[in-house]
Amino acid sequence: MEADHGRRPGRGCAARSGGAGRGRRGGAGVTKYWLNVVSREHVLRGVELGIVQANHGKRHGIERMTPGDGLVYYSPREGMRAGAPVRAFTAIGVVADRPAWQAVMEGVAAPGGGCFEPWRRAVHYRTDAREIPIERLRAELDLTSRPNWGIVLRRGLIELSAHDFAVISAAMLDETTPA
């Protein structure tokens, strides 16, 4: 997974930057919080690269994020379609002040053929965060308050409440919250 901001030699794919001003509903200065459901394997790679990619590289979710938004990952499994169950929040960060861009992935074909060109944003990840099993926080989260909460996670990238982000952040960063 390497970010490329230009045309690759010998390839018919070109990386593009997102348009300015896209993706913000609710006006400037409104912080949003996001939960990205991704395998632990892909989370670790994204943290290593300092990027977020959502919903199989689609543009829409990435462009809804803006600088300063909070981002937390939930990993149901170790791998994308296989591996041991993880069921934990696995990384946390803040969306960086840089527009979305479209990367070109060497040697990775897109479904239906052609080049895989996922949309990405830069993220400042907290390296001091630790994984927290969702089960530990279930009773405190708005996200898990409904009986069918697991179905919501299938959407991939979802907006979180400020309350849920604060609870998850405090647990991952081992911060105590005043009573």
Residue 116 — pLDDT band, cuts 50, 70, 90?
A: confident
Percent of the chain whose pLDDT exceeds 90: 61
Separation of alpha carbons 143 and 161, rounded Å: 8
Separation of alpha carbons 153 and 55, rounded Å: 12
- Domains observed in the chain: 33-172 (3.10.590.10)
The secondary structure of the chain in percent helix, strand, coil, rounded to multiples of 5, reads 25, 25, 50
Q: What is the mean pLDDT of residues 147-152?
A: 86
The predicted structure's pLDDT at residue 8: 36
pLDDT(59) > 90? yes
Measured between alpha carbons, how far is residue 111 from residues 11, 116, 118 in Å? 17, 8, 12
Residue 10 — pLDDT band, cuts 50, 70, 90?
A: very low
pTM for this entry: 0.80
165 near 171, Cβ under 8 Å? no
